[in-house]
Amino acid sequence: MSSMLAFLQRMADYWPQVLSGLGNTVLLAVIVTITGLLGGILVFYLSLSANRVCRRLTEAYISFFIGTPLIVLLFLMYYGLPQWGVQMSPLTVSIIGFTMNVSAYNARYLATAYRGLDPDELQAARAQGFSDGQVFRLITLPQVMRLSVPALSNQAILNVKDSSVAFLIQYTEFFAQMQDLAVRSFRFFDAYLVAGAVYLLLVSLVVLAARHLERRYVLPGTRRREP
């Protein structure tokens, strides 16, 4: 369609903004995938604690952040906290909010994988004389991580898609830039369609990476679990 071509030309004119927006999207998605994974491992570790209070609190944390919309958390920090004098940049708010949310989900995936572990192996490790920390680090974690690759990589895909939510708290990521272009050109349909196509491309890249990861790290002799 000629209208689409015209729009794409317009987009090319605004190339620097669009690129910076894309960069911000990737930045947020990558940071949050990493912090969400590390956070998830930490929360998962806490959920295994011998201390019952610790376990209960961790379960409550996971339950709450799985049951509450991400956007509410972001709005709370971005629009709410300034009224208490705490002002944070959209990126900071996004990173904190996403991390808390994503680590809860990741912890849940790791805990599910944990239920599939052979308790004898953990007992053998303790029988060898490994400390609880060593058992976690050398046996539990490597195995749950490998079993969780499909679920964890799905979460990475979700992080890319959900980064668009940050647009609503004024983070100038890719969707925000496309919105800007849409308003300037009045070509809303074209702009959002192109935006959608770009997200599909980004997601496809992650899917390819995930498939590669799954092939490399699946435990030999185990069936692939559907996420």
* Residue 130: φ, ψ to 5°: -70, 145
Shortest reach from residue 72's CB to other proteins, in Å:
5
Judged by CB under 8 A, the residue of 27, 30, 168, 213 near other proteins is 168
The amino acid at 131: S
Shortest reach from residue 39's CB to other proteins, in Å:
19
Shortest reach from residue 195's CB to other proteins, in Å:
5
Shortest reach from residue 1's CB to other proteins, in Å:
10
Judged by CB under 8 A, the residue of 125, 155, 210, 225 near other proteins is 125
Let me know if 201 is exposed, middle or buried by CB neighbors in 10 A (0-12, 13-18, 19+).
exposed
Q: How many residues bind other proteins (CB under 8 A)?
A: 63
**Paired tokens of 15:** 């190339």
User: What does the alpha-carbon distance between residue 185 and residue 14 come to, in Å, rounded to a whole number?
Assistant: 11
**Paired tokens of 31:** 């940071």
Q: Residue 116 interacts with other proteins (CB under 8 A)?
A: no
User: What does the alpha-carbon distance between residue 32 and residue 29 come to, in Å, rounded to a whole number?
Assistant: 5
The site string for other proteins over 17-56 (x = CB under 8 A, - otherwise) reads ----------------------------------------
User: What does the alpha-carbon distance between residue 218 and residue 207 come to, in Å, rounded to a whole number?
Assistant: 16
Q: Residue 190 interacts with other proteins (CB under 8 A)?
A: yes
Shortest reach from residue 100's CB to other proteins, in Å:
12
Expressed in percent and rounded to 5, the helix, strand and coil fractions of the chain are: 85, 0, 15
143, 112 contact by CB (below 8 A): no
Residues that bind other proteins (CB under 8 A): 64, 67-73, 75-76, 79-84, 118, 120-121, 123-131, 134, 138-139, 142-143, 146, 157, 161-162, 164-165, 167-168, 175, 179, 182, 186-193, 195-196, 199-200, 203-204, 219-222, 226
